[in-house]
Each structure stands twice: as C-alpha cells, then as structure tokens.
Structure 1
Amino acid sequence: MSAGLKYVYQLAVALCLLFSVSQAVLAEVYTYVDADGNRVFTDQPHRNAKKVDIAPTNRVDQPTKAPSRASTPKPAARPIFHYQLLRILAPEPDSTIRDIEGNLNVTVSNDPELQPDHLYRLLLDSKPYGEPTRSPVFPLTNIDRGTHQLSVEIIDQYGRVLERTPNQPFHLIRISLAQKRLAQPCKNDDYGVRPECPIKDKPEEESSFFSFFR
C-alpha cells in the first residue's frame, strides 16, 4: 500500500474513532510519523506527535417533546338509585273524566321518598308534559277529549331515568255548553252564574202591568 493511501486509511479510521465517542466527552486525536516512515493516528499523546484539529459535527439534537398534560378526568356519575314503588294515584286506570275545559290533576306516589337532585317527569301520550318538577301533583289543562295515556318518570341530575310507571289510560269527556243547557235548562237565577248560562242569553222579564190584564 502506498504511503498516501495508507495515510488516508488511517485518517478515516481516526475519524471513525472520533465519531464513536460521546459528544459530551470528545477524545483528542494526535498524529506522528513512526520509525518506518508511516503516518500514525492515535488518541494518546506521543513524543513529536501533533494534535489534529477536527471540525465539530453538524449534528442537531432533536428537541425534547414536552410531556403532554394529562386530561382532567370527569367526575364519575353516581350509581343509579332504585325506588321500590312508583305509581299514579289519580286518575285511576281506565277512568272517565268529565270536564268542560279539559282540566284534571295527576297525582303520583313513590317509596322511598324523592331523593335530593331527583325530579318527576310526566308523560302524556308518551311525550313530556311541562317541565320536570319535585311536586307529585301535575295540573293538566285544556286536554283534548278522547282517550289518553299517562306515565310518570323519576330522573336524576344526569337525566337518567331511574323509574317509570307503565302507560295508564284515561278517557276525557268535554261536554259542550249547549249539551249542558240541554241536560239542565237555565233558570233565571242561573244566568251569569253557570258558564252555560251567560247573562246575555237571559230572556227579558215580562212587565207585571201587562200580566195583570191576561
């Protein structure tokens, strides 16, 4: 091997040794010519050796990713509370209600008593009626005549249905004013008192003067 090629080979070996060491502790490289005229590279100081200046590498450390913040866990929902009893007291199942204006009250009962943060929700024909409430009495107004289905639910603060009654039918009969007048004709004292007997329909009273000559 020629001296020039041997020099290049030894320099390459020295550079490999240099790059293999840790960047934190970088070894120094020395070179000298031995007794046989060969160029030698070493990391140990030697008599008549010269230090080889090596340019720093272009290595760029990758930025360390900041640890991602752990998302705050949502508070777990409370276990579902179970009621032993929930039923509709009024109206009774399959009952018939007669009301001119279509009004009635629905009353419910449950055991144990309604817990804090729990609400009643009334369903009329499978649709929520009004807003959930803590009152066990639901006033219904202006309900159409015919057969309807009632059901009551108890919900918690998360909107979960805890208990629900089966659908319970009732029949509403709304008698018209004309039908009521026909069933019970209006008398003089009824006008302005009974809804089906408005004061404007009260007949004029006959004068006592004309009744004297009859």
Structure 2
Amino acid sequence: MNTRLYILSMVVLLTIFSTAWAAPSKDIYVYKDENGVLVFSDTPRKGAERVTLNAPVMNMPSVDTSILDEVDDLEQVKFSIAITTPTQEETIRDNTGSVHVSGQVKPRFLQGHSVQLFMDGQAHGEPQSSSLFALRNVDRGEHSLVLKLLNSEGEVLASSKPITFFMHRRSVITGP
C-alpha cells in the first residue's frame, strides 16, 4: 500500500475513533468495499456492521497531516543537465561531419520539459523531448556545445557546462 495512502487512512481512522470516543452517541459502521479494503463510516449501509467501542474517552493530540499536502513545487526542484557525449576536448574523426550528442537530466525528465542544443552559441533545431541529438555535416575545427533544459513555457530550468570538441574531416584541398 502506498505510504501516503496508509498515513491518510490511519489519520481518518483515528479521527473517526476520537470523534466516537468524544461523542459516544454517534455510531460507527465498518464494511469491506469491492476491493476488500475495510471502510469505516458513520453512515449505515447494506452489509455494514456496527462497531462497539468499549474504550474510555481519550484526548488525542492533533496529527500533523502537512506531509500529505501535494504541492506543485517544480520551481523548488533543482534540475541539472549535462552533456555525456562527446566528452570535453574530444576529437571526432568523421568525414561526413556527424556528431552524436547525448545529455543527462537530473533528477528526471518531466512531461512538458524539452531540451535545446546550442552549437557555437547558436540554437540547433527546435527544442525536443529527448536529450539525444545527431549533428550532420559539422565543419572541421573547434566547436562548443551547450544543452538547456526548458519548461513548458520555454523558460530555462538548467544549462549544461559548455563542452568543446574538435571535428577532424578529410580536406578536399590538403587530403587527410
């Protein structure tokens, strides 16, 4: 059973019992739902049994249920993104000029997020929902890459450290 659901069930159960102890005239009923889960209620229904409480009145401390509150705190999550290939100052020897770029997003890639690749300071293509890119016909020489993680509004959540790589291609003029 999910921990959050279990805690919530226990809080509800304690609330029902503490209310019943404080006001003994209120009846409590128990039954199993279609999934076989015990359900406690103050409303009778077919198949429910009345619960008899023999405990004295108890004053129970209030329970902090704030951990059960679901808050959409994506702004508080510290995302990071890194380029895993190519590595820093790697020389790529490919006469077609092909480079495969891959990145890693932490803690995880969420729906609505996208990744934008920048080569030599210029956006390469459109943002996409994957951190894998294929560059074609990259010129000879030194190049820099940066990945940026964007939210659904296009705001930058994280940027990678720049990676420098060197493309080595056979030259028509000078040969290898």
TM range (shorter): 0.5 to 0.7
Describe how 1:1-214 pairs up with structure 2 within 5 A: 80=75, 82-176=77-171, 179=175
> Is residue 140–residue 168 contact of structure 2 (8 Å, CA) maintained in 1?
yes
Considering Cα pairs closer than 8 Å and 6+ residues apart, tell me whether 1 or 2 has the greater RCO.
2
Between the two proteins, the alignment pairs up a number of residues equal to: 103
Distance in 2, matches of 1:81 and 1:128, equals 27
TM-score, structure 1 as length reference:
0.45
1:144-200 CA-to-partner distances (Å, cap 9, x unmatched) read 1110010000001111000001211000011136836xxxxxxxxxxxxxxxxxxxx
> Is residue 84–residue 102 contact of structure 2 (8 Å, CA) maintained in 1?
yes
TM-score, structure 2 as length reference:
0.54
Q: CA deviation at 1:139?
A: 0.2
- Structure 2 unaligned regions, length at least 5: 1-72
- Distance of aligned partners of 1:174 and 1:112 in 2 relative to their CA distance in 1, 3 Å threshold: same
More strand by share: 2
4+ residue segments displaced more than 6 Å: none
Distance in 2, matches of 1:101 and 1:107, equals 19
> Is residue 85–residue 102 contact of structure 2 (8 Å, CA) maintained in 1?
yes
1:123-160 CA-to-partner distances (Å, cap 9, x unmatched) read 00111101111112100001111100100000011110
Distance in 1, matches of 2:170 and 2:130, equals 30
- Distance of aligned partners of 1:149 and 1:162 in 2 relative to their CA distance in 1, 3 Å threshold: same
Distance in 1, matches of 2:78 and 2:116, equals 15
> Is residue 155–residue 163 contact of structure 1 (8 Å, CA) maintained in 2?
yes
Name the SS of the counterpart of 1:117 in structure 2.
coil
- Distance of aligned partners of 1:123 and 1:81 in 2 relative to their CA distance in 1, 3 Å threshold: farther
> Is residue 83–residue 110 contact of structure 1 (8 Å, CA) maintained in 2?
no
- Aligned match of 1:13: none
Q: CA deviation at 1:98?
A: 0.8
> Is residue 82–residue 162 contact of structure 1 (8 Å, CA) maintained in 2?
no
Identity %: 29
> Is residue 81–residue 159 contact of structure 2 (8 Å, CA) maintained in 1?
yes
Name the SS of the counterpart of 1:135 in structure 2.
coil
Q: CA deviation at 1:81?
A: 5.5
